[in-house]
Amino acid sequence: MRSFARSRHPNRSGHPSCATARYVRRAGLFTVLLAVGFTMASCSSWGHRETGTVVGTAAGGAVGGVIGTQTGSTARGAIIGAVVGGAAGAVIGHQMDRQAEELENQVPGAIVERVGEGIHVTFPSGLLFEFDSYAIRSDAATHLRQLAVSLGEYPNTQLLIVGHTDSVGSDTYNHGLSVRRAEAALNYLTSQGVSAQRVHASGRGEWEPLATNETAAGRQANRRVEVAIFSGEAAGASQ
């Protein structure tokens, strides 16, 4: 079901390691943020409760957003951080309306939401992966192929793929699994012709839950892959 709600998800904090930039697909994005004056504390100062994350776009080296605990959602934060605004934003929003409607029809099982000037797509983990696995299920590949087709029709967008887990297991293991799942989805999309320059991946482990991890239903909801689709610099110019 398509939703146009601007809901805020509950936040759960976690512990990014000193190698945080490693878990963003394009390491250069982190460098760009430093270049525009974003001040990040040293690795030794990251507390266990810190959930800040860095998200950027590759188009023209522009910074898409620096989103952390304010939103509780890395994927939604990427969309919010990439807002263009004005007349161009209105054109982009119209384009996103069309794409969101098409994705809702073409990718059954995924939750498609319009957020700001972008699209937030949630794939329940069971739709793409077996439990505790990052190998894309053969019967689930159709969903990503349909996403790749849509991305080919709207080439002036950027994507951030974010993996999430429940809280069973250690923070380190869950973070690693979430990264591997996001990378698996990224690799599949690029194998279907989506430019690697458009797609970035990140893992948030158990740190951004949608529901309580105290119940089986809550843990199932928390195991998911989110895709943020937002404007690149050229989006809207040719639409």
Question: In this structure, what CATH number is given to the domain that contains residue 91?
Answer: 3.30.1330.60
Q: Is the pLDDT of residue 92 over 80?
A: yes
CA distance linking residue 172 with residue 43, whole number of Å: 16
Does residue 238 sit within a domain?
no
Does residue 6 sit within a domain?
no
b vs e for 60-85, b when ≥16 Cβ sit within 10 Å of the residue's Cβ? eebbbbbbbeebbbbbbbbbbbbbbe
CA distance linking residue 194 with residue 204, whole number of Å: 23
Does residue 185 sit within a domain?
yes
For 190-224, the pLDDT digits (tens) are: 999 999 999 999 999 999 999 999 999 999 999 99
Q: Can you give the pTM of this predicted structure?
A: 0.72
Q: Is the pLDDT of residue 19 over 90?
A: no
121, 227 contact by CB (below 8 A): yes
Does residue 9 sit within a domain?
no
183, 201 contact by CB (below 8 A): yes
For 116-169, the pLDDT digits (tens) are: 999 999 999 889 999 899 999 988 889 999 999 999 999 989 999 999 999 999
Can you count the helices (H) and strands (E) in the chain?
Answer: 7, 7
Total tally of structural domains belonging to the chain: 1
Q: Provide the domain limits for residue 146.
A: 20-231
